[in-house]
A and B are shown apart, each in its own frame.
Chain A
Amino acid sequence: MDNVIRRRTPGARLARLALYAALLLAALFYLLPLAVMLITSMKPLDEISAGSLLALPQSPTLAPWAKAWGEACTGMRCEGVGGYFWNSFAIVIPAVAISTVIGALNGYALTKWRFRGSELLFALMLFGCFIPFQVVLLPMAQTLGWLGLSSSRAGLILVHVIFGIAFTTLFFRNFYVAVPTELVSAAKLDGAGFFRIFWRILLPVSAPIIVVSVIWQFTQIWNDFLFGVAFSAHDTQPVTVALNNLVNTSTGVREYNVDMAAAMIAALPTLVVYVLAGKYFVRGLTAGSVKG
Chain B
Amino acid sequence: MHASKRLPSPRKTVLALATGLAASLTLSSVQAGDVEVLHWWTSGGEAQAANVLKELMEDEGHTWEDFAVAGGGGETAMTVLKSRAMSGNPPSAAQIKGPEIQEWGELGLLGDLDGVAEAQQWETLLPETVAEVMRHDGHYVAVPVNVHRVNWLWANPEVLDDAGVEMPATLDELFAAAEPLREAGYIPLAHGGQAWQDATLFEDIVLATAGTDYYRRALVDLDPEALGGEPMIEALSTFKRLRELMDDDMSGRDWNIATSMVIEGDAAMQLMGDWAKGEFTAAGLTAGEDYLCAPAPGTQDAFTFNIDSLAMFRVSDEGEREAQEDLARLVLEPTFQKAFNMAKGSIPARPDLDMSEFDRCAQQSLADFQRTADEGGLVPSMAHGMAVRAAVQGAIFDVVTNYFNDSDMEAEEAARRMVNTAQAAY
Contacts and interface: CB of A to CB of B under 8 A. Distances in A.
Contacts of B89: 145, 150-151
B68 interface: yes
A234 B45 contact: no
B97 to A, nearest CB: 14
Interface residues of B, number: 45
Contact of A150 (B48, B70, B73, B84): B84
Given A75-B42, A230-B80, A252-B282, A141 B86 contact: yes
A245 B282 contact: no
B79 A78 contact: no
A252 B283 CA distance: 11
Interface string A74-114: 11111000000000000000000000000000000000000
Contacts of A249: 40, 42-43, 70
B322 to A, nearest CB: 20
Contacts of A73: 42-44, 47-48
B359 interface: no
A50 B264 CA distance: 8
A229 B54 CA distance: 22
Contact of B87 (A141, A235, A241, A250): A141
A244 B68 CA distance: 10
Interface string B140-181: 000000000000000000000000000000000000000000
B36 interface: yes
Contacts, number: 120
Interface string B37-53: 00111111111101100
A253 B256 contact: yes
B260 interface: yes
B68 A74 contact: yes
A253 B71 CA distance: 15
B94 to A, nearest CB: 12
A49 B260 contact: yes
A251 B72 contact: no
B52 to A, nearest CB: 10
B217 to A, nearest CB: 30
B344 interface: yes
B42 A145 contact: no
Interface in A96-154: 137-138, 140-142, 144-145, 150-151
A232 to B, nearest CB: 9
26 contacts: A49-B264, A73-B43, A76-B50, A76-B51, A76-B68, A137-B79, A145-B86, A145-B88, A150-B89, A151-B84, A229-B79, A229-B80, A230-B80, A234-B67, A235-B65, A245-B42, A248-B42, A248-B70, A249-B40, A249-B70, A250-B71, A251-B275, A252-B46, A253-B278, A253-B283, A254-B256
Given A49-B264, A76-B50, 14 more contacts: A74-B42, A76-B54, A77-B66, A138-B83, A141-B83, A142-B87, A151-B84, A229-B69, A234-B65, A247-B70, A250-B40, A250-B255, A252-B256, A254-B254
